[in-house]
Amino acid sequence: MDKGTEQPQVSKEQIEGEVEKRKILSLVEKYKDKLGTFEVVPVGNAGFLLQSERHKPLAGNDWFMFDYDDTLVGTTAVKDKRLDLYKDYAKSLGINAADEDLERIMDKTDEFSRWENEAKGEAAYHANNHMSALDWATNELRDAGERKNNGEDVVMEDEVVRIEQTLNRIKAEIKGEGLAEPSDPFYFRANDRKMILKGKIPWSKDIENIFMQTTINPPYYEEALHAASDIDQHEDSILRVNTGVFTHGEPYYQLLKVFELLEKNPDLPLSQIWLAKVPKGSFIEEFVRTRATQQTKLDYLPPLGEIDKNSQEASISNSSGHPLGQHPHVIVMVDDSPTELNSILKANPYLSENTGASFVVVRSRRSSTKEGEKEWEIKTLFGEVDFRSGALAGKDVVKILQINRYLSLKSKLGEDDPRVKAIGDNLHMLGVSETELQSVA
């Protein structure tokens, strides 16, 4: 072959990235009529950036980013409801299994769906794989029940153990330790470790409905959603801030959940969605290296001559720049996970050397989440939004987040900077006195 006609080698990561991007684009197309268009930009192999055409961010301004799972919605709390719905479904099929056995099936198929933990060291949850494994396991229990009714000596507890052992063996294929059998309902492809289904129908509509009612549409945390909607008091002003969601997990599944949230909460003014496949701090650094945000279209401030000279806005310079760019700006991150917050904080030294951005992290803490009772070594006066008492409203959350933004920007630009003064004025509107501002500085 003529060397001049040789095609460049395409890596496995590039192929996987293209497949993932096509899945993301198909989801964007599906929700386009309801949510408008979103730009989709890969962030290396670390995930994706999506930007809303309806809510373009204002260039150069600060950001409030909200985690999705257990911060905006009750992901952990919904698992009990999912289990209850599944038990009802199993009973409707005539499956005469103990509740404890059905719970074991749900837990085992959930664990199975997180097979990428062993492949890449990531805690990626694959809802599609969970539904497929759960549907197969349910059918196995139903078939066992029918054999028992026909007089065979079938012990349902033994069937549950057999299902668990089968899933363990199939999952072991990822490490090259499991041996596939002809009767297996799915297997892991050797070249890319993706789960391949043998059947034409991946799962039943009933199983899908259980997940749509729970895992994909969990209950909302109203105070957090109100804060995300009301965080900006300058929606039509050059002072407005930008709002986004920053989530970690399997990109398609995470985006599906965010889109469902947006569909039911149209007043949530999200400008960007960051879908991280890696720890969030690593995603941030890849964000900077790939300059992914520079590929998006932003709103820009009007020329100063078009601004009322007597307004507060006239004293603020005509800023520009993308998030994580070179201009000074603050990104306040709200997350329930101490692990993710630590990974974000670790990215700040890299940001200070390569950008004008800095992250301020605020922990969201609830008694109903898996992270709620974990201790965190970071202790600051306004570094936590503690919902465990049930006394916080959306306006209280807004106040805490805006104070964090104020303190960070003040440390970067000084208290006489017009932007810092504007945030201080906004805090006064929220009921924070000048004395209180001085006390937290």
Tens of pLDDT, residue by residue, the chain (441 residues): 455 556 566 666 666 778 889 999 999 999 999 999 999 999 999 999 999 999 999 888 899 999 999 999 999 889 999 999 999 999 999 999 999 999 999 999 999 998 765 544 445 788 889 999 999 999 999 999 999 888 888 889 999 999 999 999 999 888 777 788 888 999 888 777 778 888 878 899 999 999 999 999 999 999 999 999 988 766 656 678 899 999 998 899 999 999 999 999 988 999 999 999 999 999 999 999 999 988 888 887 654 444 454 554 444 444 557 888 888 899 999 999 999 999 999 999 999 999 999 999 999 999 888 888 888 887 777 889 999 888 888 889 999 999 999 888 888 888 888 888 888 888 888 888 777 777 665
Q: Where are the beta strands (DSSP E) in 169-305?
A: 186-188, 195-197, 242-248, 272-276
Specify whether 65 is located in the same domain as 86. Answer: no
Give the whole-angstrom CA distance, residue 56 versus residue 52: 6
Give the whole-angstrom CA distance, residue 13 versus residue 27: 21
- Could you tell me if 244 and 274 are in contact, meaning their C-beta atoms sit under 8 angstroms apart? yes
Specify whether 419 is located in the same domain as 348. Answer: yes
Specify whether 68 is located in the same domain as 162. Answer: no
Domain total in the chain: 2
**In this structure, is residue 2 part of a structural domain?**
no
**How much is the pTM?**
0.86
| Among candidate residues 174, 196, 213, the one where a domain is terminated | 213
**In this structure, is residue 268 part of a structural domain?**
yes
| Among candidate residues 213, 244, 273, the one where a domain is terminated | 213
Structure tokens at 257: 């959940």
Supply the DSSP symbol for 58: B
> Strand pairing partners for 47?
276
Specify whether 376 is located in the same domain as 258. Answer: yes
Q: Which residues are CB-contacts of 174 (< 8 A; sequence separation ≥ 6)?
A: 115, 118, 119, 188, 193
Specify whether 234 is located in the same domain as 117. Answer: no
**In this structure, is residue 315 part of a structural domain?**
yes
Give the whole-angstrom CA distance, residue 256 versus residue 342: 26
**In this structure, is residue 193 part of a structural domain?**
yes
Specify whether 297 is located in the same domain as 246. Answer: yes
Specify whether 246 is located in the same domain as 370. Answer: yes
- Could you tell me if 163 and 105 are in contact, meaning their C-beta atoms sit under 8 angstroms apart? yes
Specify whether 302 is located in the same domain as 261. Answer: yes
**In this structure, is residue 382 part of a structural domain?**
yes
Dihedral angle over CA of 253, 232, 339, 78, nearest 10:
-50
For residue 334, what are the domain limits? 11-75+218-440
Closest CA to 126 of 27, 250, 24, 259: 250
Specify whether 425 is located in the same domain as 340. Answer: yes
